[in-house]
Amino acid sequence: MKKFFFTLIMVIVTLKAYNQSSVAMVVDATASQYTISRHIYGHFSEHLGRCIYDGYWVDPSMPVPKYDRIRLDIVEALKKIKIPNLRWPGGCFADEYHWRDGIGPRDQRPTMVNTNWGNVTEDNSFGTHEFLTLCELLNCEPFIVGNLGSGTVEEMSKWVEYLNFDGISPMTNLRKQNGRDKPWGVSFFGIGNENWGCGGNMTPEYYVTQFRQYSTFLKNYPGAPLRRIACGPSGGNYTWTDVVMAGLAPGGRGNLWGIDLHYYTRPPRGGFGQPQGGQAGQAQREGAQGQQQQQVQSQGSATNFTEATYFGTMRNALRIENYIKGHDSVMTKYDPQKRVALVVGEWGIWCDPEPGTNPRFLFQQNSLRDALIAGTTLNIFNNHCDRVKMAQLAQTVNVLQAVILTQGPKMILTPTYHVFDLYKVHHDAKMLPVKFTSPDYVYENQSLPALNASASQDSAGVVHITMVNIDPNKQITVNITLNGVKWSTVTGQVLTSAKITDINTFEKPDNVVIRKFDGARKQGEMLNVVMPSKSVVMLELK
């Protein structure tokens, strides 16, 4: 009998050890140098599928609160997470969009065919005025991407004049004629999108020449200096970054504020490890809006996936940190003072469209897995805020890794939305360096770092720590030493669920939501945290 109980105790101890890991972490307020820009938490809304039309912009008869045709429940939800900027009109759509088609009386605006996204015909009822009204309702800054691929220097130059000039000119008169007296003062302005692909299939050398020419004619009007953003690379295309930085870096002729990197996380094909086609194949698929032929291939289901697929997907998500480091290294050759921002203008997970929907509308569900990707990615951005000054999740409503999904008058908030709600505490706060060695998440003899984290201190001295445990099976005990922080209380919130495939639906919108977290406590001067498996945790120390 004694032997039986001894064996039973050993089994229990072994199971507990198997299901948890322990790590020591240091959060160092004495080493803080950089600020986490709120603009890292931006969003992207393209004329694609049901993001704009039947997303923000609805039929006048739809029984929801509206301002004009702007859906106000969406506005209020985005205001809650303090969305700092919104990128528009694309995406691939930007380089076929002619802004004059979207101003003036709506019944007189010409239609256009959206050739990138399903050949649907748009009536241009949502244009410059409507977008900037949306931004005013959201209390966020607009990030407009101009048409370099099929437009002209004159067209882009006059758009900036229309947006930002308050003097006497034909564009000012036209703006006033269309109902807007004062200019909007748009600051963030992209000169083309994915010009290595759908934006014109340009070489980086040719793009640099184009950027210089266009930039020359995009004027800084009084009170409205432009922050010009260049088309950046796809994934690990360091050659593009090198050529663009060499031609446009500070001291050059481009008046460059930022360079726009795009990277999408893809579920792996051909196994849970390296994506099908190897590294070169992955590089071709990243930033896939410029690679139209890739969009008809299977990316993997957003909801029906195994742990093997999950493991491979998380591996691909974590790859973004290596790309950020690589591009930062290239940029630093030309810009050691880090005056040029790395803008991650499109990021998120790209899965198969939901069955029964238009495959070119890219409507996908959003699971706990996607929330873990979002939290992980935002932690990476926070920790690299010396170079990453801006980013936009793709896309805001009904497209790809959306934070909001709609079905007629119904609306749900996705698990990814709740991550942005948790992380808004980092906006414009001082980044606190975090040091630790992560335990491994092991699957079939392959491993990934299970834990990632970032920390900040706001203007009131409150410290916030966000951590993600990507291991779907093991909890992690974290013992945190806080250097240079005076605190006496800790509170927390957690986002998790029973399965990594769990989603919010229109029938059950609260399956995956933020809940109170009781797994953190003060032990002397240290903070002890028990991280659940597959979870995002936000801690507040006062």
Which of 130, 141, 286, 346 is the catalytic position? 346
Supply the DSSP symbol for 91: S
Q: 194 catalytic, yes or no? A: yes
Asked if residue 241 lies in contact with residue 233, where contact means CB atoms within 8 angstroms, the answer is yes
Give the whole-angstrom CA distance, residue 372 versus residue 80. Answer: 20
Give the whole-angstrom CA distance, residue 276 versus residue 5. Answer: 50
Both tokens of residue 380?
A: 């990476």
Asked if residue 132 lies in contact with residue 185, where contact means CB atoms within 8 angstroms, the answer is no
Q: Name the E strands within 281-417.
A: 341-349, 388-394, 404-407, 410-413
Q: 346 catalytic, yes or no? A: yes
Residue 277's contacts (CB-CB under 8 Å, 6 or more residues apart) are 270, 284, 285
Query: In 365-508, where does DSSP find H-type helix?
Result: 368-383, 415-423
Neighbours of 192 (CB within 10 A): 26
Supply the DSSP symbol for 533: S
What one-letter code names the amino acid at 63?
P
Neighbours of 365 (CB within 10 A): 20
What one-letter code names the amino acid at 113?
V
Give the whole-angstrom CA distance, residue 376 versus residue 52. Answer: 28
Please count the residues of the chain.
542
The torsion region of residue 261 among left (phi > 0), alpha (psi -120 to 50) and beta comes to beta
Give the whole-angstrom CA distance, residue 101 versus residue 87. Answer: 19
* Spatial CA neighbour of 513 closest among 504, 524, 522: 504
Give the whole-angstrom CA distance, residue 249 versus residue 261. Answer: 16
Neighbours of 368 (CB within 10 A): 25
Q: The tokens 């994915």 sit on which residue? A: 194
Which of 46, 122, 194, 286 is the catalytic position? 194
Both tokens of residue 449?
A: 């770092």
Give the whole-angstrom CA distance, residue 244 versus residue 230. Answer: 8
**Helix/strand/coil (H/E/C) assignment for every residue in 312-354:** HHHHHHHHHHHHHHHHHHHHHHHCCCCCCEEEEEEEEECCCCC
Between helices 128-138 and 72-80, what is the axis angle to 10°? Answer: 50
Residue 470's contacts (CB-CB under 8 Å, 6 or more residues apart) are 314, 372, 376, 441, 448, 450, 451, 452, 534
Give the whole-angstrom CA distance, residue 180 versus residue 394. Answer: 30
Both tokens of residue 360?
A: 């070119």
Give the whole-angstrom CA distance, residue 368 versus residue 224. Answer: 41
Q: Which of the residues are catalytic?
A: 194, 346
